[in-house]
Amino acid sequence: MGIYVALGANQDSSHGPARTIVEPALSCLTAHGVLVLRRARIVRTSSWPRGSGPDYINLVLSVATSLSPAALLETLHAVERSFGRVRGVANAPRTLDLDLLDYHGRVENGPPLLPHPRLADRAFVLQPLAELDPAWRHPVTGRWIGSLLADLPGDAPAFVT
């Protein structure tokens, strides 16, 4: 078990186009005390609802930090804001979206909610997480990541890098 963060974007920001946001975002995380240990390859997914905006780039990061889960979540939100993210409308296009998925298998009713409450329903998160940790188990259900992926409808998103 580790600390896993999902990164997504589908809107350009002052840091550049969404497709090139990964490196500036990783640098910003490092500057805020979040060390990126490994990262999955990028997957590209349609916006939701389909056709409502540009495609998203998504990946999962394995990170290390001395921050508590709550402090890490606040740091992720601060990094999002530095990239122009404005929260408010569900499923709105995003310059940067950082979600705390799992923090060493902890289960918390929040904030933050751990594990991320919609983690098991999102192929665009499970697929890259499986690349980083094929032996990962859901902290609440105990289900293996391969089983969670197999239960999702449709094909898993394809890696683009």
Q: Is residue 62 one of the residues assigned to a domain?
A: yes
Q: Report which of residues 94 and 92 the model is more confident about.
A: 94
The pLDDT, as a whole number, for residue 35 is 98
- 115 in a structural domain: yes
Whether the pLDDT of residue 88 is over 70: the answer is no
pLDDT score for 155: 75
**152: Cα separation from own chain's centroid:** 18
Whether 159 is covered by a domain: the verdict is no
Does the residue 67 lie in any domain?
yes
User: Residue 144: its pLDDT value, please?
Assistant: 97
- Asked whether residue 109 is assigned to any structural domain, the reply reads yes
Q: What is the pLDDT of residues 131-160, one digit of tens each?
A: 999 999 999 999 999 999 999 988 778 788
Assess if residue 30 is contained within a domain.
yes
158 in a domain, yes or no? Answer: no
- Taking residues 96-102, report their average pLDDT: 94
Query: 93: cis peptide before it, omega within 30°?
Result: no
User: Quick one: residue 151, left, alpha or beta (phi over 0 = left, psi -120 to 50 = alpha)?
Assistant: alpha
* Residue 105 CB partners (closer than 8 Å, separation 6+): 1, 137, 139
- Predicted structure pTM score: 0.91
Is 73 domain-assigned? yes
Domain that residue 35 falls in: 3-151
What is the pLDDT, as a whole number, of residue 51?
66
For residues 101-123, average pLDDT: 92
State the distance between the two ends of the chain, measured CA to CA, in whole angstroms: 25
CB contact set of 56 (below 8 Å; sequence gap of 6+): 8, 9, 10, 18, 44, 45, 46, 47, 94, 124
CATH number at residue 110: 3.30.70.560
Q: What is the pLDDT of residues 16-75, one digit of tens each?
A: 777 888 899 999 999 999 999 999 999 998 876 676 677 888 999 999 999 999 999 999
Q: How much is the pLDDT for 115?
A: 92
**pLDDT attached to residue 161:** 64
Q: How many domains does the chain have?
A: 1
- pLDDT at position 83 is 84
Q: Which residue has the higher pLDDT, 90 or 122?
A: 122
